[in-house]
Amino acid sequence: MRFDTPATTNPIDQLKVVGKPVDRIDGPLKTTGTARYAYERQDVAPHAAYGYIVGADVAKGRIAAIDQARAKAAPGVLAIVTADNAGKLGKGSYNTARLLGGPNVEHYHQAIALVVAESFEQARAAAHLLKVQYTHADGVYDLADARAATDRKTIDRNSAIGDFPGAFAKSEVQLDATYSTPDHSHAMMEPFATTAAWSGDKLTIWTSNQMIEWNASELATTLGIGRDKVHVVSPYVGGGFGAKLFLRADALLAALGARAVKRPVKVAMQRPLMANNSTHRPATIQRIRLGATKAGKLTAIGHESWSGNLVGGKPENAVQQTLWLYAGENRLTGTRLATLDLPEGNAMRAPGEAPGLMALEIAMDELAEKLGMDPLELRVINDTQVDPAKPERKFSQRQLVECMRVGAERFGWAQRSTKPAQRREGRWWIGTGMAAAFRNNQVTKSGARVALDRQGLVTVETDMTDIGTGSYTIIAQTAAEMMGVPLERVVVRLGDSTFPVSAGSGGQWGANCSTAGVYAACVKLREAVAARVGVDVSGASFSDGLVTAGGRSVPLAGLAGDTPIVAEDTIEFAELNKRFQQSTFGAHFVEVAVDAYTAEVRVRRMLAVCASGRILNPKSARSQVIGAMTMGVGAALMEELAIDKRLGFFVNHDLAGYEVPVHADIPHQEVVFMDETDAISSPMKAKGVGELGICGVAAAVANAIYNATGVRVRDYPVTLDKLIGKMPPVTSA
């Protein structure tokens, strides 16, 4: 099905099942421990051996020798896989560094060996008996130093409209400030984990991955075998946030280990390796220049961002939202990439907008103060309903102003003190901050297969994944709505590379696109059912397990006979996303308390207002948003991969040293979804929301801290050491 004209009224608009706050249908399996994750597949790969990954102890250099004698002689050891005996390996297009290093080492904890043994404990013990000799090489590990070194910096993208330098110089009010965000770890609960088994020349992996087809194709390329020889299964994923978009070392090494010992092998990457071995959100240094009239109209917008990566990697596109969020006739955006020898930087929840808004939305707050304006009103008067670079290109939907107005009313924004450090409650300074939220709406083709059996049961198959986001449920809701059956009469099968290729879980496109693919397949199934009944599908209705047309109703049960009626289709998005700018919008409001004596920060209230198309399931959507809001608090107050700039690695590479928010850090979070449908986006009239929820949160927290204390911090995270020396004088409350 080609989606090339705006959606009109269709069966989804009935909203009998879609749009309802349905409990997650996979919930009972997960809460009872019966959902089998990748490392637990004894049911399909019995008697598996265990692999233990050995990571490089240097950040840059070369392996001179590996003494394997003691490890090979250790109890239970079956094989040791290294680059010397793994055979010729390719490199997929989504990997910057090789997943199995040697003899060259490209980053710290790059996998250089896999020890396979009868038990995990034996593999771990033997791995520590390997003696690796390295030839060290000098590396560059500091973004600020690399930014200053012209030989390590490349221009990735520049965009200019009008005369930014001239307009900025003539602006009545100017802001020129630099902000920084640190490296972040995905820190998901389930590690990278895979069970692998060969049957002849065919490989099956049960793995934890967000994008099944990407993973299967990349694994085939890396191993140098046909794509038809690789079967990937990933029905349950315990978190990913972008880290599991791509093929990682666990999957490749499990496959190599299984081939070496000729039996199934399971590999779970050790937690201390995950931060340095896999991808992370790279640090940024962002310079923002804003010029405005005294009335607050932006006349010049400049946003330049520097980030680092390995050779061949890409920059963090932190200027992305600045292209579309605010009006302004003179604009300059640019990303710069510095070559660093740290582990690979890549996608993490809301790549681009998440770190970009951490800077831009503080800058807007600072400009508002210079202007003596309410920061919310500054954003309102600079709203735009068209793409600033292409005024003829309208937004498909844009309710940013409405989000801010609704949020301000519900949060009590009018009671906020415009002057910082004015409100005290005992030992606590109280402040309120806000920020706009923006995330582009991306669409990508997505397929599904649906079948109706003789009992009237509808089965959906697609390689879409559920990474804790509720994919099983919204896909079941879509099929139930389209076929007119109760939700319990739908079976959903996900995460298998033998199923039709879907959008996968990433980019905030998964829910909208995967359900649109199911919609397309169900349209074909409805046609097939109508033909079986002998009626015109355009006049048929599907409801209560019946197909009704021409004055008669026929039960779906029994129509299929012994052979199910099967239909398959793919939604393909055509030119609409080029003709219209598709984005999601929101507003975040935060109240904080800052201890007057210690500068400890406590978040007291949070509100997110989101305009994100039709909300397919308000319950699971809210879960996505509050999870994202929690990640935003972490980015604001505590999350930071600390770099040893001598040796080139992330020091706090486990959940003891890498701090993330816990329950005690997070107050009750309120989420409001605006009433919106976007007919330009898909037949579902939906858009994504899971990444929008993180965009702007950190800035809202930082702005609230400033409102509470008068201390402006431009370098995240906003830890107490950056506040305590500048706090207001302590007087009697």
Q: Which residues are catalytic?
A: 691
How many angstroms separate the Cα of 633 from the Cα of each of 22, 87, 385, 610, 698? 28, 45, 30, 18, 6
Among the listed residues 236, 235, 241, the one whose alpha carbon sits nearest the alpha carbon of residue 187: 241
Instruction: Order the strands of the 298-309 sheet from edge to edge.
Output: 153-161, 330-339, 298-309, 284-292, 173-181
Instruction: Order the strands of the 61-67 sheet from edge to edge.
Output: 104-105, 61-67, 131-136
Cβ-based burial of 491 (10 A; exposed 0-12, middle 13-18, buried ≥19): middle
Cβ-based burial of 538 (10 A; exposed 0-12, middle 13-18, buried ≥19): exposed
Q: Three-state SS string across 383-400, please?
A: CCCEECCEEEEEECCCCH
- Beta-carbon count within 10 A of 138 CB: 9
- List, in sequence order, the alpha helices (H) in 225-301: 249-261, 271-277
Query: Roughly what angle, to the nearest 10 degrees, separates helices 249-261 and 212-223?
Result: 50
CA distance 700 to 703: 5
Among the listed residues 438, 400, 399, the one whose alpha carbon sits nearest the alpha carbon of residue 321: 438
Nearby residues of 405 by Cβ (< 8 Å), 6 or more positions away: none
The residues with which 566 forms a beta bridge, in sequence order, are: 451
Is residue 646 classed as helix, strand or coil in its secondary structure?
coil
Nearby residues of 41 by Cβ (< 8 Å), 6 or more positions away: 195, 206, 266
CA distance 330 to 165: 8
- Beta-carbon count within 10 A of 293 CB: 12
The residues with which 285 forms a beta bridge, in sequence order, are: 180, 306
H helix or E strand, kind and range, residue 213: helix 212-223
- Copy the structure tokens of residue 732: 């009697």
Query: Roughly what angle, to the nearest 10 degrees, separates helices 353-371 and 618-637?
Result: 70
CA distance 320 to 546: 48
